[in-house]
Structure 1
Amino acid sequence: MSPLILYLAHLAVLAYALVGGVFLAFSDFIMRSLAQTDGVDTMQAINREVFHWAFMVLFLGLAPVSLLLAAYGAIGVGHGPGTVMVLAGLIYFVGCFGVTVAFNVPMNEALAGMDASEKKTVDYWTRTYLPRWTFWNTVRTVACGLSAALLLFSLVWAAQSQGS
């Protein structure tokens, strides 16, 4: 395996886990806490603040890295570990990045345009946003964790295959 790809893959395992940890916190306790309080204003603020560089570099940067790793796994690694590497990359790209673009971002944008003091906003928040956003966020959490585990497994498998 190319040393550059090897280092990139190790960094991707860590990045998948870090991004998944952020999503886990939201699914595990942040959204429940916001549901118990006047969370609309707070979630609107969170959705504005998420665009700062640290999280976005990891989250957005993993999309092309995941596709690169999937392609490399298919072309450069081979059947067993390569297939697992392909799965790791595609699961992140579809299950985290794709879900974010298709589901979470549109809900965030809808919430951003609402006045937290209006009844229709409270209805949207409690009946639509909280359950749906949290469901899709949990999908992202699982996708990140699975991608990290699969990529790590593929790296170990590839290293063991080279040693024998």
Structure 2
Amino acid sequence: MQKALIPTALLGLLLTGAIFGFFYAWVCSTMWGLDAIDPHVAIQAMNGMNASVRNAVFAPAFFGTPFVLGSVAQMARKEGHRQASWLFNSAAMIYLLLGVMLTGFANVPMNEALAATALPDDPAAAAQIWAEYSPRWQMFNIIRTAASGVSLLLVGLGLLKLR
């Protein structure tokens, strides 16, 4: 077996798990917490988190995952692990389409629009801004969370097929 296959597959598992956990935390705590506080504070906090996520710690998991998984798929195919290759490739494509691309086409533009919106003094106006933003943003996040979870499951199955 190619020496790099298992370590690279494990790296793919780690990255996929990291990104699934990141999206999942937004689903089950972060957004619920923001929804429960003053909309002024929620908007400011969301803007702060969105600005801070663009960093060298987050980038490998977010951007690197589909490339690592694609590399594992190619290595597995060369080693004759056709089922494993299909599983890793499927995991890469699902995450690329419904994780990376959905984020770029839905969540990021919403984040940029929220950041560009002047925070009103009127509490009702701030509540309206948050009410228009949060449920829609969460819907897209649930999709990318589910997709990342499916990708993680596929990576696990792919690893089992390499035995």
TM-score range relative to shorter protein: 0.7 to 0.9
Is residue 139 of structure 2 the alignment partner of residue 135 of structure 1?
yes
After superposition, the C-alpha distances for 1:22-79 in whole angstroms (9 at most, x for unaligned) are 1111111211111121300100000111112211222122232233334445565443
Work out which of the residue numbers 147, 150, 164 in structure 1 matches 2:151.
Answer: 147
1:162 corresponds to: none
2:115 corresponds to: 112
Change in 2 beyond 3 A, CA 1:8/1:123: same
Structural RMSD (CA): 2.1
Letter in 1 for 2:162: A
Work out which of the residue numbers 23, 41, 44 in structure 1 matches 2:47.
Answer: 44
Work out which of the residue numbers 129, 135, 139 in structure 2 matches 1:124.
Answer: 129
Instruction: Point out the more displaced range, 104-113 or 77-86.
Output: 77-86
Stretches of 4+ aligned residues off by more than 3 angstroms: 69-79, 118-122
C-alpha distance in 1, partners of 2:12/2:63?
12
The percentage of aligned residue pairs carrying the same residue is: 27
Change in 2 beyond 3 A, CA 1:133/1:13: same
What TM-score comes out, normalization by structure 2 length?
Answer: 0.85
| 8 Å CA contact retained: 2:66, 2:93 | no
Change in 2 beyond 3 A, CA 1:76/1:111: farther
Q: Give 1:2 shift.
A: 2.5
SS of the residue corresponding to residue 53 of structure 1 reads coil
Is residue 92 of structure 2 the alignment partner of residue 89 of structure 1?
yes
Aligned pair count reads 158
Instruction: Show structure 2 runs of 5+ residues with no match.
Output: none
C-alpha distance in 2, partners of 1:154/1:26?
27
2:4 corresponds to: 4
Instruction: Point out the more displaced range, 79-88 or 90-99.
Output: 79-88
| 8 Å CA contact retained: 2:87, 2:158 | yes
C-alpha distance in 1, partners of 2:119/2:80?
52
